[in-house]
């Protein structure tokens, strides 16, 4: 088994949503989960790359192996308890242990309180909340038995406040992930387990591009570079985030450098939330 040397050498990380929505969406098809899986592998962790889309998870594993890392792809829907149980069992069977759980899956439907449909509301509550609850619930017995483990949940700065566009269901579920993480951290700290949340700002990922396309009347005419510049002008650090920015924060939280950090949030937004 090949492993890269680094701060996570010898660790096993299960990353959910480790594929990416579509490689044809531009930006090299790089999403937050995919970049995190690659980043954790660069730091020496062996990766269990879980995704609804097995092909996408395999693509992530191929990239990791090309750099000398170790990765195994698992297909699972994180909203289905039976599939989550089977995926964790597969990860344990493959690597013998899990040290790090990165809950990255999340979906977005646009709309405010008056125009959101009940279907979209239910879908976001169902996916975004179960995406943190189910993998956590079923990884915890293993973590508790070993008296160690790190859980990092992907929320969003949209979970803190209104950002100028009505995404009420998405924002409410992302806010709930912050509360979930704080409660979890307090509950599991006596077992030596840490739990934190990452709150990305605007990150150029296939999912973010898909939302822009859905909102546009002329999707074929979108000038991505011009749009990036407009967005960058509203960000104190002057650029849109990349999935690697999120992955870097995840690598820190997963490492022993963060061994006294639990129940908190790291904002990765170029300064947006301190100015809104």
Q: Using CB under 6 A, count the residues that bind ligand NAD.
A: 29
DSSP-assigned letter for residue 127: I
Contact 15, 88 (CB under 8 A): no
The reply to whether 91 sits near ligand NAD by the rule CB under 6 A is no
Catalytic residue among 162, 167, 170, 260: 170
Q: What share of the chain is helix, strand, coil (3-state, %, to 5)?
A: 50, 15, 35
Q: What is the DSSP letter of 98?
A: -
Options 200, 249, 251, 265; binder of ligand NAD; rule CB under 6 A: 200
Beta carbon nearer to ligand NAD, 10 or 78: 78
Residue with tokens 């939280």: 253
| Binding-site member from 33, 44, 135, 169 for ligand NAD (CB under 6 A) | 33
Rule CB under 6 A: say whether 19 interacts with ligand NAD.
yes
* 170 classed as catalytic: yes
Segments of the chain assigned E as strands: 12-16, 46-51, 71-75, 100-103, 149-154, 193-200, 265-268
Residue 223 burial (10 A CB sphere; 0-12, 13-18, 19+)? exposed
| Coil/strand/helix, residue 5 | coil
CB of 10 to ligand NAD, least distance (A): 26
Residues in contact with ligand NAD, shown as a per-residue x/- string from 130 to 159 under the rule CB under 6 A: ------------------------x-x---
The residue range among 25-33, 92-100, 188-196, 231-239 that interacts with ligand NAD, by the rule CB under 6 A, is 25-33
Residue number closest to ligand NAD, CB atom: 106
Q: Rounded to an integer, what distance in angstroms lies between the CA atom of residue 84 and that of residue 92? A: 12
Q: Which stretch binds ligand NAD (CB under 6 A): 74-82, 86-94, 140-148, 217-225?
A: 74-82
Tokens standing for residue 198 = 């990452």
Catalytic residue list: 170
Binding residues for ligand NAD, per CB under 6 A? 16-17, 19-21, 31-33, 51-53, 56, 77-79, 104-107, 127, 154, 156, 200, 202-203, 205-208
């Amino acid at each position: 088994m090949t492993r890269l040397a680094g701060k996570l050498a010898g660790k096993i990380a299960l990353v959910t949503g480790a594929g990416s929505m579509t490689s044809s969406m531009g930006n090299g098809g790089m999403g937050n989960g995919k970049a995190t899986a690659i980043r954790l592998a660069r730091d020496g962790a062996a990766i269990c790359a879980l995704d609804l889309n097995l092909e996408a998870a395999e693509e992530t594993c191929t990239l990791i192996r090309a750099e000398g890392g170790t990765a195994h792809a698992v297909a699972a829907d994180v909203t289905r308890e039976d599939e989550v149980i089977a995926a964790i069992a597969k990860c344990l069977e493959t690597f013998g242990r899990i040290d790090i759980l990165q809950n990255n899956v999340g979906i977005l439907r646009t709309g405010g309180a008056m125009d959101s449909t009940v279907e979209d509301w239910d879908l976001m509550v169902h996916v975004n909340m179960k995406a943190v609850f189910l993998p956590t619930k079923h990884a915890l017995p293993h973590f508790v038995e070993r008296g160690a483990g790190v859980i990092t949940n992907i929320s969003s700065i949209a979970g803190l406040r209104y950002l100028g566009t009505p995404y009420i269901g998405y924002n409410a579920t992302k806010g709930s992930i912050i509360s979930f993480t704080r409660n979890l951290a307090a509950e599991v700290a006596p077992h030596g387990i840490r739990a934190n949340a990452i709150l990305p700002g605007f990150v150029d990922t296939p999912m973010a591009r898909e939302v822009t396309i859905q909102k546009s009347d002329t999707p074929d005419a979108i000038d991505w570079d011009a749009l990036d510049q407009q967005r960058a002008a509203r960000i104190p650090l002057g650029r849109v985030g990349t999935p690697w920015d999120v992955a870097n924060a995840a690598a820190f939280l997963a490492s022993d450098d963060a061994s006294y950090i639990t129940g908190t949030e790291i904002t990765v937004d170029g300064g947006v939330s301190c100015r809104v």
